């Protein structure tokens, strides 16, 4: 159990366009989902926390208008990178935390490698 | 803010030797301490975890110890193998709060 999927696994887009990344919990209900950004050889940088049905909580320094997060259901959260620029190129990883037996365990999606040209 | 310190940042061992990674956390209310293994270009995978009501947990070649008083926890890998080479992250959390990750330890196991 505890499988999290993420789509797409990689995407290349042109500067100025928007990209949507989906994160799904496949076999459990994720009350909370997290979005991370990871630079090469660095740790996970938390961007925002989203709870189903409510607005996401963004970390300091993360532009909420640029990184739009929607957690519409207990199994789906999306991250939209708006007006992407080359400096947004990175590895984006989501994770999901559920209820009951999964209340504190956190499971990661496979990540999305975004390249903005 | 709350933080987790992880040492060493890089660790190189000979195949068959043991590897130990240590973490210290600041939030005394943390009660869940997972360890993740991340291979290059892949997702972090939960390899073992420990809760604050337990002092030690073992799963085959992997063990984790927790000292709540000192706010230290450690990962021990015995009989290391080349496939253990990866980046390992410790973390501290409690239900309802975000997880705080360490900076990671890059483990190299030389054959």
Give per-residue pLDDT as tens, B43-76: 999 999 999 888 999 999 999 999 999 999 999 9
Using the Cβ of B46 and the Cβ atoms of chain A, whether some distance falls under 8 Å is answered with: yes
Query: Quick one: average pLDDT of B32-42?
Result: 94
A-chain CB neighbours of B32 within 8 Å are: 104-105
Question: Are A106 and B99 within 8 A, CB to CB?
Answer: yes
Which of A112, A113, A89 is CA-nearest to residue A22?
Answer: A112
Backbone angles phi, psi at A18, to 5 degrees: -110, 150
Question: Are A41 and B95 within 8 A, CB to CB?
Answer: no
Which residue does chain A place closest to B34, by CA atoms? A105
Q: Are B98 and A34 in contact (CB under 8 A)?
A: yes
pLDDT tens digits for range A57-89: 999 999 999 999 998 888 999 999 999 999 999
Find all residues with CB under 8 Å of A63, minimum gap 6, and list them. Answer: none
Chain A: give the shortest CA distance to residue B74, in Å: 18
Q: Are A21 and A78 in contact (CB under 8 A)?
A: yes
B-chain CB neighbours of A41 within 8 Å are: 106
Chain B: give the shortest CA distance to residue A15, in Å: 24
Question: Are B98 and A46 within 8 A, CB to CB?
Answer: yes
Query: Quick one: average pLDDT of B70-96?
Result: 95
Which residue does chain B place closest to A60, by CA atoms? B1
Nearest to A107 among B41, B46, B89 (CB): B46
The confidence score (pLDDT) of residue B94 equals: 85
């Amino acid at each position: 159990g505890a499988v999290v999927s993420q789509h797409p696994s990689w995407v290349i887009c042109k500067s100025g366009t928007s990209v949507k990344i989906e994160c799904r919990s496949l076999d459990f209900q994720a009350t909370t989902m997290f979005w991370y950004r990871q630079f090469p050889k660095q740790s996970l940088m938390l961007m925002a926390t989203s709870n189903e049905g409510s607005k996401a909580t963004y970390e300091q320094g993360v532009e909420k208008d640029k990184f739009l997060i929607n957690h519409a259901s207990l199994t789906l959260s999306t991250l939209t990178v708006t007006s992407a620029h080359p400096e947004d190129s990175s590895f984006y990883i989501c994770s999901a935390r559920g209820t009951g037996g999964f209340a504190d365990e956190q499971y990661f999606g496979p990540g999305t490698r975004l390249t903005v040209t | 803010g709350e933080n987790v310190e992880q040492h060493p940042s890089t660790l190189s061992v000979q195949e068959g030797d043991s590897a130990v990674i240590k973490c210290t956390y600041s939030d005394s209310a943390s009660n869940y301490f997972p360890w993740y293994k991340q291979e290059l270009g892949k997702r972090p995978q939960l390899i073992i975890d420990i809760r604050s009501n337990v002092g030690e947990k073992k799963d085959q070649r992997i063990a984790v110890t927790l000292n709540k008083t000192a706010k230290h926890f450690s990962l021990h890998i015995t009989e290391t193998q080349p496939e253990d080479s990866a980046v390992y992250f410790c973390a501290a959390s409690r239900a309802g709060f975000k997880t705080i990750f360490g900076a990671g330890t890059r483990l190299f196991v030389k054959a």
